[in-house]
Amino acid sequence: MNLAELQELHALPFFELLKRSHEVHEASFPAGKIQLCTLLSIKTGGCSEDCAYCTQSARYETDLKNERLLSKETVMESARAARENGSTRFCMGAAWRGVRGGTERFNQVVDIIKDVSSLGMEVCVTLGELGPDEAVTLKEAGVTAYNHNLDTSPEHYPNIVTSHTYEDRLRTIRNVQDAGMSVCCGGILGISETITDRLRLLEVISSFNPQPESVPINSLMPMPGTPLANNPQVDPFDLVRMIACARIAVPNAKVRLSAGRTRLSDETQALCFYAGANSIFYGDKLLTADNPEAGKDRELLAKLGLDTLEPNPSLEAPSIDRDLAASPCCSPKSCC
């Protein structure tokens, strides 16, 4: 979808937008099913990058304690617990600029992934920048999806991150797609962006070939010590509108209501699910930040009569549309 189409959608009366996005959702997914995903930070803090929202950047003075890469045993313990608690996707995040084949840490992560992928859950990792060879290695190790967010528009990105570029992010996404992994790519609201920035993000994401398999929508959790620590909370209606636009722009993707749920009312979350969100991070912790308690989420889903999505560990990446131009992942005019 192009920017003009997205702007037209976004400007609809709230309930008209919700009606349309709900129809798209019903056409693409079984009614009333939410995917539960568990996140684990396998390498916390000390990151070289300067993402202005992130407590894991080494550039800011935050309360976060840096940690080494977790052992395989520790990760497996969390992964087994996640499966027992009903999660069907296990996402491992590392605070790195990226990974390079042949290094000790890459080999260790690959070894961890091989074991986690034997548990029958979808395996998602987010390790930063990847080259083509690293992407193939991760695919072969059993990764189902690679999370690499664009976070905002190409225009606003340099205001938020200066240590790598939007182009770098797009290159990694292309490598992930070429290796046959699904792409998980979304954004973050509340980082001083305009509505146009949000819609430009959706314009870029919706022009990927293939479109991403999942689109996480995060709301800023302001982290003391980071440049965005004092940013105001996102208007809940704006969050719902963004979810609805994402659902329409990327109809077959799981739209994940991601960071920031601790500050949302049950009613706002219910509107997000109606608008097309069908996945959440489940468990008391995200990477470093708080998430609603699992019991509270179970209660909310039960109150709304929502069920959970079955696991699909053999999830195939969406296929590339060969009839479209062989652009990396978005057409130059809609991107950078």
Binding-site partner at residue 206 among ligand SF4, ligand DTB, ligand SAM, none, CB < 5 to 8 Å by type: none
Strand partners, 147: 184
Quick one: which of 99, 110, 217, 223 contacts ligand SAM (CB under 6 A)?
223
Which of 6, 37, 42, 51 is close enough to bind ligand SF4 by CB under 6 A? 51
- At 5, give phi and psi (nearest 5°): -65, -40
Q: Which stretch binds ligand SAM (CB under 6 A): 26-34, 77-85, 147-155, 312-320?
A: 147-155
Cis bond upstream, residue 210 (ω within 30) = yes
Task: Residue 288: name its binding partner from ligand SF4, ligand SAM, ligand DTB, none (Cβ under 5 to 8 Å by kind).
Answer: ligand DTB
Contact segment (CB under 6 A) with ligand SF4 among 44-52, 200-208, 272-280, 316-324 equals 44-52
Scanning residues 249 to 288, which ones bind ligand SF4 (CB under 6 A)?
Answer: none
Residues near ligand SAM (CB under 6 A), total: 18
The answer to whether the CB of 86 falls within 8 A of the CB of 308 is yes
User: Measured between alpha carbons, how far is 29 from 219 in angstroms, rounded to an integer?
Assistant: 24
Choose between 202 and 259: whose C-beta lies nearer to ligand SAM: 259
Contact set for ligand SAM, span 149-168 (CB under 6 A)? 149, 151
Largest pairwise CA distance in the chain: 54
Q: x/- string (CB under 6 A) for ligand SAM, residues 203-222? A: ---------------x-xx-
Choice from 35, 38, 57, 226 touching ligand SF4 (CB under 6 A) = 57
Q: How far is the CB of 316 from ligand SAM (least distance, A)?
A: 23
Comparing C-alpha atoms, which of 12, 101, 78, 39 is closest to residue 282?
39
d(CA 126, CA 37): 14
Going by their DSSP bridges, the two strands 33-43 and 307-308 should be labelled as parallel
56 is a site residue for ligand SF4 (CB under 6 A): yes
Residue tagged 């894991």 (tokens): 56
Rounded Cα–Cα distance for residues 256 and 276 (Å) = 9
Amino acid letter, 67? E
Element (H, E) at 170: helix 166-178
Among 95, 121, 301, 335, binds ligand SAM (CB under 6 A): 95
Residue of 54, 205, 249, 329 interacting with ligand SF4 (CB under 6 A): 54
Q: For residue 142, is it left (φ>0), alpha (ψ between -120 and 50) or beta?
A: left
Q: What's the burial of 233, exposed, middle or buried (CB within 10 Å: 0-12/13-18/19+)?
A: middle
What residues are annotated to the active site? 47, 51, 54, 91, 124, 184, 256
CA–CA dist 161, 214 (Å, integer): 23
Question: Contact positions toward ligand SAM, by CB under 6 A?
Answer: 53-54, 93, 95-96, 126, 128, 148-149, 151, 188, 218, 220-221, 223, 259-260, 287
Question: Contact positions toward ligand SF4, by CB under 6 A?
Answer: 47, 49, 51, 54, 56-57, 95, 128
